[in-house]
Amino acid sequence: MARILITEEIAESGIDQIREAGHKVDVKYDLTFEQLIEEIETAHALIIRSATKVTKEVIQAAKELVVIGRAGIGLDNVDVNEATLKGVMVVNAPQSNIVSAAEQTLALLLSQARNIPQSHTALKNGKWERSKWEGVEIYGKTLGVVGLGRVGALVAQRALAFGMRLIAYDPFLTADRAKKMGVELVGLDELAAQSDFITVHLPKTQDTMGLINKDLLQKMKTGVRIINTARGGIIDEQALYESITSGKVQGAALDVFEKEPCTDSPLFELDSVVVTPHLGASTVEAQDKAGITIAEQVLLALEGAFVPYAVNINASQASEEVAKFLSLAEQTGKLFAGLNEGLPDDLEIIYQGKLAEEDTGILTLSILKGIFSIGTDDPVSYVNAPQLAKEKGLSVKESKTNETGAYVNLITLKSLNHSIAGTLVGINQTPRIVLVDDHVIEVPPAENMLVVRNDDRPGMIGVVGTILGKHQIGISSMAVGPSTTSNTALMVLSTNTPVKNEIVKELADEDGIIEVHRLGTEQ
């Protein structure tokens, strides 16, 4: 049972999901920094939204922390680098509020074009001001989308339905992909010069902070209107104020601000500025999805499983084909560490068959996770496995080939002294170890396994079975393979309980047994 600390409100459905998994949930809102430091010390997971500041000091104070979950998208309130250094996984819910954020963008765009909030306020104050609040149509206008990611793409899709012309700036998107979305990809300066409306959909990073600055605002088409539902700070607010008051920019609609909460800004004094208090994700549906999604991600992290929305691992995505091999990769890594009696001096990973055409980064992490879970006493996760490899001096080399011989796919691990290969077989794609050193075998990987190399002569299976039976250790599965290069054979077997050190020694001392390797913990 883990202790999950929740410091901001999330959907009850998410909290219920964590409790149903058998974990202890501590819901504590409005913690001071000092209280957070105290509470985080014994927490295994921390769930937050945007207000809790998870600084370096907070992360360093945590003794048991496995995962930080952000119920939403942005992570500017989390020191992700420090979390990574400490091996703490950081996860978010990137799909939870994309529809809500896109709809908020369109709502602000229309509000800005038609002066809806201003005329609403005037009328409720007894003023019928039709001519003052004359607006513009968005039909036929050019919308410049800065960032064509999840939210930007949905905004573009909806804007097309309004009859707008779409251009976009996104250095990570191909022109062909943009074209299929009905969008013309252009440079940032060109977007500024052509757009009647500009909407921002970028993450907040060092590269995007202040991207919409005084220089870029001066390059914009006179009369442009700007919408930002992404993150505060991407637009230089002082420069925006000056551009509106000079008449260069007609107006703006802002849901986010450089410093939040923001209740006082020169922009608030301008009639042509529409503002909302960071409501992009503030819908019932988005909050439900964020709560449920972050609960699922946190539970996966606590289980040590693959977490799709982890942001601080080298490979957080896995195709459907690759995901099938995650368990096999980790189990193969564990067995490989057992064969090498700890960490190998070097590691070569070979992906063969259809896997060679896939992004296998997450499989390499799974292999390292398996190796370090056996080969060292350090806590290991997808997050810190590459860091551990670097610290321990483990050289990792990857290669790929379409040739597999008898198998559709094959994962092979090699060191100077040992090799092991695994695959998935049958309709149900069950994992099998099919090669150990130069011996062809077929056996399902298990938590407790023995690898016995012996002289290739009659009676050796009986010797091993007799000794294990004498100690009340059952054999769950077994495979035997002769060597193709020497007069030896290999037994690979799984046991129903771990095998103690003295039993391993007893086996190794038997005449005809060359070496014994154990995978599993000693009782």
CA distances from 316 to 163, 365, 373, 494 (A): 37, 10, 20, 32
Q: Which of 57, 258, 260, 348 is catalytic?
A: 260
* 371 Cβ neighbours under 8 A, 6+ residues apart: 333, 334, 336, 337, 343, 344, 347, 394
What is the number of other CB atoms lying within 10 angstroms of the CB of residue 47?
Answer: 28
Helix (H) or strand (E) holding 465: helix 460-470
CA distances from 469 to 143, 333, 478, 498, 519 (A): 76, 28, 14, 13, 18
> Which DSSP symbol is given to 312?
S
Q: Which of 231, 418, 453, 518 is catalytic?
A: 231
Q: Looking up tokens 């992404």, which residue turns up?
A: 230
Q: Which of 49, 70, 225, 278 is catalytic?
A: 278
Is position 278 annotated as part of the catalytic site? Answer: yes
Q: How many CA atoms lie within 13 A of 452 on its CB side?
A: 32
- Crossing angle of helices 98-114 and 150-161, in 10° steps, is 50
What tokens appear for 449 in the block?
């396994």
Q: How many Å apart are CA 446 and CA 444, to the nearest integer?
A: 6
CB contact at 8 A, 141 and 85: no
Cite the active site residues: 231, 260, 278
